[in-house]
Structure 1
Amino acid sequence: MALTAEDLRDLVVLLETHPEWRKVLWALLASEEVLRMPAELAELRAETERRFTELAEAVRRLSELFVAHRQEFLAQQAHTDARLAELTETVRRLSELFNTHRQEFLAYREETDRRFAELAEAQRRTEESLAAHRAETDRRFAELSAEVRALAEAQRRTEESLAAHRAETDRRFAELAEAQRRHYEEFAAHRAETDRRFAELSAEVRALAEAQRRTEEILQQVLLRQEQFQRTLDHFGQIIGPITEEHMVQALQEWIAQQGGTLLTPVVSITLDGLGEVDGLARARLPDGREAWLLVSAKAKVWARSITEFVERILRHPEARERLQAQGVGDPVLPVVFGRALDHRALEAAQRARVGLLIGRQGMLVPPALWSLSEGKPLGPSS
């Protein structure tokens, strides 16, 4: 059933009688986006409702004046009521559009306010200045009230102005209906495009979730294999480590004997509390009668980085040197890297670092230089 002007007036009277119903009605019509607007916008909305109530009251008084006119005026009144019903339906549809798409509603409100004494200009400046917008709205409503009173006076004075008003009203209603139709078509197209994009996005999200699941499965398999490899490596280290150190002790004893020196202490290993480990430590008497400490790093295979790590982590590292000194190791020291196999780049690295390179059955390929443990550098000029 179509909404008539009489229904609108009844609704206005009910809202005036029960102000608390306005909030309930507004909560049903408003969207979550509107409810989240700042408190200032809520105050402006209440003020706008009050102004529209005053305008409805003015229309009601104008309708009472129409009753006193002749049959043509009554026919015009009926025609106006029908137009008002169409306007009410249009406003309702535009309110629904506002709930789902605020930008569409703002555009419609701008068009409507421009058609009726440029009220949209004040509404459009809401975000720029709330205070200025409220003042502008008051001024526009004052102008609109004045226009309504002038219209009523002109209605009473002349029937010709009534005909002109009817023609202008028809034109404006036609423009409003056309604008509403265009807005609805644009909104429908936008909603269809939005639905399509959401469907595409949902498919992409599902594909991403599936890829993530597969990645996590692969990662779990990699972690499992890494743990298995680490356990294998640890087990291998437990086997190969003692064997390598045993060969290191034998090769070190043979080299010292070949040089005419003597080991004064057993060859032992020492851990430096998280900073590393010296695989071989022993005090020796050199052929010239001097005594020195042998510091040995044992590897299954010696690489160039084996030399570099021994120098940086033990011989030059301040805390490692302090802990060795705390164990009674003093100057000078003979640093040696032992291995059962050799990468060719390790030879140059040992010569450059002035660190001894002792390889299994091959013997001492690079003789060690005397180092100062307290200073962390070789004694004497570099070769």
Structure 2
Amino acid sequence: MAWTVEDLRDLAELLRAHPEWREPLWALLASEEVRRMPERMERSFQRAARLILALYRAQRQHYKEFIAHRAETDRRFAELAEAIRNLSESFAIHRAETDRRFAELAEAQRRHYEEFVTHRAETDRRFAELAEAVRRLSESFAAHRQEFLEYRAETDRRFAELAEAQRRTEESLAAHRAETDRRFAELAEAQRRHYEEFVAHRAETDRRFAELSAEVRALAEAQRRTEEILQQVLLRQEQFQRTLDHFGQIIGPITEEHMVQALQEWIAQQGGTLLTPVVSITLDGLGEVDGLARARLPDGREAWLLVSAKAKVWARSITEFVERILRHPEARERLQAQGVGDPVLPVVFGRALDHRALEAAQRARVGLLIGRQGMLVPPALWSLSEGKPLG
């Protein structure tokens, strides 16, 4: 009698009811090569996993070293950003190439894994078919021994075919493993060259940093010497300023004394009269009027004399007197607060004269009184409230 699908189902039910029969039946049906196939596949997977893990750990260690060194390099070469940028671009190109190679390796691994998954699914499907057949065979084994033997022969043939397919699969896996090992070797060699380039770059970086440190130390030494020279200059400047202050304390009163005498002589020559003593007045940080007096002019009008006294009169002496006193709003307000009103006669007094001061006094319409030479440029009447000459 021929075996039917129902017979195989009955055999499968017997195996489910008696699990202890499965191992003897499997030993009877399956060859030694087929039984050891999962163990060999597991060893192959473990070996590949160990290789990938070793490569990953080495790459991660190298990447950590690179990250630490790049941080140190960025800190040291903050002033050399352009050179670092160029180096970073070169490294980015190399890293992109490395990423591309890893992507190719990952793609190859993905395709091989898909092929393996497909093969495993096919194997599982065939084992499922075999299990279903064994189950049905077991259910009808007692009544259909001869048909069972024929079916076993057919099963052996199919197992032989399966073993041949497995052999071809193992050969394919061996070839793939050899190709994978070759690619891993190439990747390791590329990683080694990259690390050697990295070590050479780090040595060059350290050398350049040492040169920069030497230059910085030389610069610091030069700066120290410059500071010492500057301290000496400041000391001499302070000594010179003290000398000037001492000289000013001597020459200032003498100049103001000559200014008062020359001013009195000029007023007398003009037929006028000084109504108040000639005094000096300070404008609270805005400057100082060296001579201030109220006078009656020859025509009977009264005016205020505003005098700036200098040892030697320069053109800038005229300009500073006009800008800082006669036209400066705050200076005019403070003079008015002291009781000085319109009109005023501005005069610059000096014991010596620069030739350019004559033209400056004429343009500014300010009096120029020089020691024994007298009034070289007569003063014009000014409006203190408006800060400009009258008429």
- Say whether the fold is shared (TM-score over 0.5): yes
Query: How many Å separate the matches in 1 of 2:46 and 2:34?
Result: 11
CA contact (8 A) 1:98 1:105 kept: no
Question: Structure 2 residue aligned with 1:325, among 336, 343, 349?
Answer: 336
CA contact (8 A) 1:256 1:263 kept: yes
Query: How many Å separate the matches in 2 of 1:307 and 1:113?
Result: 84
- Please give the residue correspondences for 1:7-18 in structure 2 after superposition, counting only pairs within 5 Å: none
> C-alpha deviations, 1:315-358, integer Å up to 9, x for none?
11122122212222122211110001111100000011111101
- Please give the residue correspondences for 1:287-326 in structure 2 after superposition, counting only pairs within 5 Å: 287-326=298-337
Query: How many Å separate the matches in 1 of 2:274 and 2:259?
Result: 14
Which residue number corresponds to residue 378 of structure 1?
389
Q: 1 or 2 for the larger relative contact order (CA 8 Å, sep ≥6)?
A: 2
Which residue number corresponds to residue 344 of structure 1?
355
Which residue number corresponds to residue 192 of structure 2?
181
Give the structure with the larger helix fraction: 2
**Structure 2: which 5+ runs fail to align?**
1-32, 68-90, 124-164
Which residue number corresponds to residue 37 of structure 1?
none
> C-alpha deviations, 1:58-112, integer Å up to 9, x for none?
xxxxxxx9992599x69x958984x766655443332222012246777645533
Which residue number corresponds to residue 97 of structure 1?
62
| 1:115 maps to 2:105 | yes
Query: How many Å separate the matches in 1 of 2:108 and 2:173?
Result: 23
1:320/1:177 CA distance change after superposition, 3 Å: closer
> C-alpha deviations, 1:147-191, integer Å up to 9, x for none?
553476686763322332233223223322322222222222222
- Please give the residue correspondences for 1:1-383 in structure 2 after superposition, counting only pairs within 5 Å: 68-69=36-37, 81=47, 88-102=53-67, 108=98, 110-117=100-107, 146=114, 149-150=117-118, 158-380=169-391
**What is the Cα-based RMSD across aligned positions, in Å?**
3.2
1:304/1:118 CA distance change after superposition, 3 Å: farther
Structure having the higher Rg: 2
Query: How many Å separate the matches in 1 of 2:375 and 2:207?
Result: 77
1:91/1:105 CA distance change after superposition, 3 Å: farther
Query: How many Å separate the matches in 2 of 1:209 and 1:66?
Result: 80
Query: How many Å separate the matches in 2 of 1:159 and 1:144?
Result: 13
Query: Which segment drifts farther, 306-315 or 200-209?
Result: 200-209
1:116 partner SS: helix
Query: Which segment drifts farther, 193-202 or 299-308?
Result: 193-202
Percent of aligned pairs with the same amino acid: 79
Give the alignment's TM-score, normalised by structure 1. Answer: 0.67
Query: How many Å separate the matches in 1 of 2:102 and 2:210?
Result: 35
2:285 partner SS: coil
* Aligned-residue offset at 1:314: 1.0
Query: Which segment drifts farther, 99-108 or 322-331?
Result: 99-108
1:150/1:353 CA distance change after superposition, 3 Å: same
1:355/1:224 CA distance change after superposition, 3 Å: same
Query: Which segment drifts farther, 350-359 or 94-103?
Result: 94-103
CA contact (8 A) 1:97 1:105 kept: no
1:338/1:79 CA distance change after superposition, 3 Å: same
Query: How many Å separate the matches in 1 of 2:239 and 2:35?
Result: 98
* Aligned-residue offset at 1:113: 3.6
Query: How many Å separate the matches in 2 of 1:66 and 1:301?
Result: 121
1:270/1:159 CA distance change after superposition, 3 Å: closer
**Structure 1: which 5+ runs fail to align?**
1-64, 120-139
1:298/1:287 CA distance change after superposition, 3 Å: same
Query: How many Å separate the matches in 1 of 2:377 and 2:368?
Result: 5
CA contact (8 A) 1:155 1:162 kept: no
1:167/1:328 CA distance change after superposition, 3 Å: closer
Query: How many Å separate the matches in 1 of 2:275 and 2:35?
Result: 131
CA contact (8 A) 1:272 1:320 kept: yes
CA contact (8 A) 1:296 1:337 kept: yes
* Aligned-residue offset at 1:215: 2.4
Count of residue pairs brought into register by the alignment: 291
1:205/1:306 CA distance change after superposition, 3 Å: same
Query: How many Å separate the matches in 2 of 1:326 and 1:296?
Result: 18
* Aligned-residue offset at 1:372: 1.5
1:324/1:225 CA distance change after superposition, 3 Å: same
